[in-house]
Amino acid sequence: MKITAVEVRTVRMPLVTPFRTSFGTETVREAVLLRAVTDEAEGWGECGAGTAPLYSSEYTHAAADVLARHLIPAIRHVRSAHHVAPALAEFKGHRTAKAALEMAILDADLRAHGQPLSHALGATRTEVPCGVSVGITNTVPELLDTVGGYLEAGYRRIKLKIEPGWDIEPVRAVRERFGDIPLQVDANASYSPHHAGHLAGLDAFDLLLLEQPLAEDDLPGHAELARRLRTPICLDESIVDARAAAAAITMKACQIVNIKPGRVGGYLEARRIHDVCAAHGVPVWCGGMLETGLGRAANVALAALPNFLLPGDTSASDRYFHTDITPPFELADGHLAVPTGPGLGVSPVPELLDEVTVSTTWVAV
């Protein structure tokens, strides 16, 4: 396979409702998409970076720039998706940008050979149970209405965003209203070690897990918290690659891992993290970064691997978007079907893609 060019496209898609987390409120999903053109097939990639460096240090303008200026030129001699990460290894960071490029080349490679991504990754299921991430709301009644709507829609697990000042009370209210539904919380690193006693209050609610309570680089703090709390600790932002996963498990900083291919540099590294966790008996689940149907398709394929033992944030398209750029992913009995076509198994609908495109750059290699 020979890569001839990569199109770098920025899209903006309004969210159906504002999504508030401890690091800010999103109302529009701005994302960088890649279309890799090769002599055999085309492939699509999606970059998980947000508009501003609030979830991580990456952001869409920087990703588009580092791709056009450094990463795409560096893969001119690459002949297969497995050679993309080694070709980009000299560049520090920019993992969501690297993930998007590897994804586009992997998609092209697989489409050229007629192989679905799920097969290439080692999926063992044809559908995955889906959870949903619920943002912080202005009032508890509003939160209960939102949770009720998602349970009506069939979601198999509820995740509540929390932060200091919005934690025990909303969790208690959801438990009182909805009983023992599968329930977990995500702090997006908004607490400090001095909150340990307060966070122990969450043990009363039989949660599946407490996701990333402390700073990304505080593995010792998470290990200390894991010793004090009954609620299992899950890491998200801290798990930047397979080596970080092994370190976190060895230090007993987490008992569960949220795998996000964008955060770790791609689907191939995500597969390696899956294997490291499986080897240590650590269950994983697939996190979400408000992906379009392209990233959603790839995440559902990944979530079908054997050690993905907990429902992920692989929600339906309409949880975020009125209109997705691909045929929408729709919940069926709380599950999403794993795409069966070659590569991602879905492609953008050209007119829908053009409607949300704000810029495109053509980078010949």
Ligand X SMILES: CC(=O)N[C@@H](Cc1ccc2ccccc2c1)C(=O)O
Hey, which residues are catalytic here?
A: 161, 260
Report yes or no: 298 and 117 within 8 Å, Cβ to Cβ. Answer: yes
Asked if 327 and 346 touch (Cβ cutoff 8 Å), the reply is yes
Q: Which stretch binds ligand X (CB under 6 A): 219-227, 239-247, 288-296, 323-331?
A: 288-296
DSSP result, 45-97? EEE--BSSTTSSS-BHHHHHHHIIIIIHHHTTT--SGGGHHHHHTTS-S-HHH
Question: Exactly one of 46, 109, 236, 241 binds ligand X (CB under 6 A); which one?
Answer: 236
186, 241, 291, 324: which one binds Mg ion (CB under 5 A): 186
Question: Using CB under 5 A, which of 218, 236, 269, 291 touches Mg ion?
Answer: 236
The string of DSSP codes covering 321-360 is BSS-SSSPP--BTTEEEPP-SSBTS----HHHHHHHEEEE
Alpha carbon 197 to its chain's center: 30
Q: From Mg ion, ligand X, none, which one binds at residue 348 (CB under 5 to 8 Å depending on kind)?
A: none
How far is residue 258's CA from residue 276's CA, in Å, rounded to a whole number? 13
Q: Which of 133, 231, 255, 314 binds ligand X (CB under 6 A)?
A: 133
312 binds ligand X per the rule CB under 6 A:
no
Segment 133 to 172, residues that bind Mg ion, using CB under 5 A: none
Q: Distances from the Cα of 237 to the Cαs of 47, 169, 287, 354, in angstroms?
A: 16, 25, 10, 32
* Piece in contact with ligand X (CB under 6 A), picked from 34-42, 284-292, 334-342, 349-357: 284-292
Q: What is the rounded CA–CA span in Å between residue 141 and residue 143?
A: 5
- Measured in residues, the chain has a length of 365
- Per CB under 6 A, the list member of 43, 116, 287, 339 interacting with ligand X is 287
Q: Given candidates 11, 22, 55, 143, which one binds ligand X under the rule CB under 6 A?
A: 55
- In contact, 356 and 29? CB cutoff 8 Å: no
Nearest residue to ligand X by CB is 50
Measured from the CB atom, is 188 or 347 closer to ligand X?
A: 188
Q: Which one among 162, 210, 244, 290 touches ligand X, defined by CB under 6 A?
A: 290
What's the CA gap between 216 and 218, in Å, rounded?
6
CB-wise, 133 or 317, nearer to Mg ion? 133
- Phi and psi at residue 59, in whole multiples of 5°? -155, 160
- Tell me if 109 contacts ligand X by CB under 6 A: no
Q: Contact, 30 vs 104, CB < 8 A?
A: no
Residues in region 174-213 near ligand X by CB under 6 A: 186, 188
The DSSP result for 243-272, as a single string, is: HHHHHHHHTT--SEEEE-HHHHTSHHHHHH
Among 229, 313, 335, 336, binds ligand X (CB under 6 A): 313
What count of Cα atoms within 13 Å lies in the side-chain half-sphere of residue 41? 21
Site size for ligand X (CB under 6 A): 15
CB of 243 to Mg ion, least distance (A): 20
Kindly identify the residues of this chain, within the stretch 33-52, that bind ligand X according to CB under 6 A. Answer: 48, 50
If the CB atoms of residues 249 and 290 are measured against ligand X, the closer one turns out to be 290
Q: Does 231 bind ligand X (CB under 6 A)?
A: no
Instruction: Supply the minimum distance, in Å, between the C-beta of residue 211 and Mg ion.
Output: 5
Distance CA 287, CA 285 (A): 6
Residues at the interface with ligand X (CB under 6 A): 19, 21, 26, 48, 50, 55, 133, 186, 188, 236, 287-290, 313
Residues at the interface with Mg ion (CB under 5 A): 186, 211, 236
